[in-house]
Structure 1
Amino acid sequence: MAEVSPRTDTSTDDTDENHTLEPGQVALVVSDSSDRSRDKNGDQKTMRRLAQNREAARKSRLRKKAYVQQLENSRLKLTQLEQELQRARQQGIFISSSADQSHSTSGNGAIAFDMEYSRWLEEHNRQVNELRAAVNAHASDNDLHSVVEKIMSHYEEIYKQKGNAAKADVFHVLSGMWKTPAERCFLWLGGFRPSEVLKLLSTQLEPLTEQQLSGICNLQHSSQQAEDALSQGMEALQQSLAETLAGSIGTSGSTGNVANYMGQMAMAMGKLGTLENFLRQADNLRQQTLQQMQRILTTRQSARALLVISDYSSRLRALSSLWLARPKE
């Protein structure tokens, strides 16, 4: 009888041993596959985020480029408009806003004043640049005083022009339609609030002596009182006008009795005549505030004060341009 070879048994055992997996090996294979899947999903999310970031950056660059282009277009349009206005003034197309033309139509009066204000502002900016150069060059007090007086006289000129323009169209001057939108937000009776200007200067002109601080504080207080009185007067006028106009409305129609209607409208027109007086008083208050401020401050401080006032107004005008040129999304 033939014997079973031990070699054959050993071979069979080796084969079984080679194909038999340990209990944890199957789980290890599945775990490796899951990790690779998560890594792949994570890579895809990262790629998507990077793509989204690149797209957002691209859109941001395009918006910035469009915004810069709009600003440049606005600047070119403004330059072109200023050139056209300058040519128009040189050709004498617009009516001068001198006192002898107070009976011109309101439309022509408004246009004339807008043109004169544009000319005034151009000259004002030139004088301010001259003052700034003198301050930076540490000019003598005498030289500074000369430029300061020139600017103060120039302010008086615009108040005269406003008074003449108000005779033709007081609503145009009071509403500030000759100024930029941002400036109109801070408008008070056709101009700036003297108390607000003094408040601004008190923080920009340090250090001030105790006597100067007291003078500025008292001037601010008196200016505020005068402003309140004029504001209350305007409110009373508006209330009176509203009552007058409401009284002309009859129950039988929109205007009621013709004679009564005409009488009420005549009363309203008479009350509107006081608007010029309010504007004149407000401009007088502005002018007197600047003059008294100059008396309180030294020549060099007055120069700095005028620069602060001018820079603040320039920023308001620039803010209007930036706002109008902003991207519309």
Structure 2
Amino acid sequence: MAAAPYAHGTSASETFKKFFEASLTEQNQLLQELISATTDSTPSESTLRQLLDRVIKHYEDYYRYKSRWAKRDVMAMMTPAWRSSLEDAFLWIGGWRPSMAFHLLYSKAGLQLEAGLDELLRGLSTGDLGDLSPAQLRRVDRLQRETIRKERDLTETLAAQQETVADTSMVELSHAVTELIRNGETTQTHGGWDESAVDGLVESTLRPKEDALEEILHKADDLRLSTLKNIVEVLTPIQAVHFFIAATELHLRVHDWGKRRDLKEDRRREPRQ
């Protein structure tokens, strides 16, 4: 998936939105291939692994390009305007919560276990997530515990960084700007205040905070990607295919549902003619 170059005068948010939409299109295509792989009566392990490698590469490309855009505008990546309000409600540091991958795995495994219970009781293997072995479940449990620990550490790091919005430098700067406004040392234009005289100071104060947020976002995205890779290592190739089908379906459908809900809400708010 090629990254679109920055267009002159185009915000990082607008540019990444186009990349995000292209990513959704590619995910749809990969989903169809994943589903086809499960309908093949005898898919070879090499074929499945090649498909899984492409899926993993899709995620790697996405987070690599996201990291590039975060260097330009980390705020846009932390509060993505290209996602729906439904997705925003479940957002964790600019993306999905890594521990959610384990809930997804267990949910899909439970559904497939129920669907294939008759075969399993007859001693037959279903080959899907309903047929996870005790050894696999133990490894998944260890991964889940480790992921939750890292997730908690990052959450605490973000909380500490968020508190710096009220540190001495911010309080001092906000007071100084307020005094400038009160003393009429800035120019009032278009009903607002032109703060060009203090823009440099504002930028120098906010820059370290943005740099810290960028580092936290990068670590969160690394955890998201490593969680997927670690889960796949526990699963057989065909089980990993089923896992990615569930993950892709959930991502695409929640995005669609959220966009439709937002559109309906926007229409409801429109003044009647």
Q: TM-score, normalised by structure 1?
A: 0.63
Q: Which among 1, 7, 15 is matched to residue 112 of structure 1?
A: 15
Match of 2:241? 303
- Structure 2 residue aligned with 1:201: 105
1:104-162 CA-partner distances (Å, limit 9, x unpaired): 76x43222211112112111210111111111223232222211111111110100110
Q: What is the DSSP-based 3-state SS (H/G/I as helix, E as strand, rest coil) of the residue aligned with 1:122?
A: helix
Q: In structure 2, what is the Cα distance between the partners aligned to 1:183 and 1:251?
A: 38
Which residue in the other structure is 1:211 paired with?
Answer: 135
Counterparts of 1:25-40 in structure 2 under 5 Å? none
Give the % identical residues. 25
Indicate conservation of the 8 Å contact 1:135/1:144, yes or no: no
> Structure 1 residues 114, 249: CA separation in 2 closer, same or farther (over 3 Å shift)?
closer
Task: Give matches, 1:122-141, under 5 Å.
Answer: 122-138=25-41, 139-141=43-45
- Deviation readout 1:251-286 (Å, 9 max, x if unpaired): 894459999997676233222211111111111111
Taking a change above 3 Å as real, the CA distance of residues 282 and 104 of structure 1, as seen in their structure-2 partners, is: farther
Tell me how many residue pairs correspond in the alignment.
231
Distance in 1 of aligned mates of 2:161 and 2:62: 26
- Whether the 8 Å contact between 1:194 and 1:223 is mirrored in structure 2 is yes
Asked if residue 179 in structure 1 is aligned to residue 78 in structure 2, the reply is no
Q: Residues 50-69 of structure 1: matches in 2 within 5 Å? A: none
Amino acid at match of 2:233: R
269, 272, 282: which one aligns with 2:220 = 282
Counterpart of 2:131 in 1: which secondary structure?
coil
Question: In 1, Cα distance between the equivalents of 2:83 and 2:92?
Answer: 12
Higher Cα radius of gyration = 1
Aligned twin of 1:79 = none
Deviations 1:227-253 (A, max 9, x none): 111111111111112223223243894
Unaligned ranges ≥5, structure 1: 1-88, 90-94
Higher relative contact order structure (alpha carbons within 8 Å, sequence separation ≥ 6): 2
1:239 pairs, out of 138, 163, 188, with 163
Is residue 325 from structure 1 mapped to residue 271 from structure 2 by the alignment? no
Assess if the C-alpha contact under 8 Å between 2:136 and 2:235 holds in 1.
yes
Equivalent pair of 2:74/2:210 in contact (CA under 8 Å): no
State the 1:172 CA deviation: 0.9
Name the counterpart of 2:147.
223
C-alpha spacing 1:121/1:265, structure 2 compared with 1 (3 Å): closer
Distance 1:255-1:217 versus aligned 2 partners, 3 A rule: farther
Which one has the bigger helix percentage? 1
For residues 303 and 266 of structure 1, do their structure 2 counterparts lie closer, same or farther at Cα, with a shift above 3 Å needed? same
Work out whether residues 159 and 283 of structure 1, in 8 Å CA contact, stay in contact via their aligned partners in 2: yes
The answer to whether the Cα contact below 8 Å between 1:202 and 1:216 also exists between their aligned partners in 2 is: no
1:313 aligns with 2:251: yes
Q: Which amino acid aligns with 1:129?
A: Q
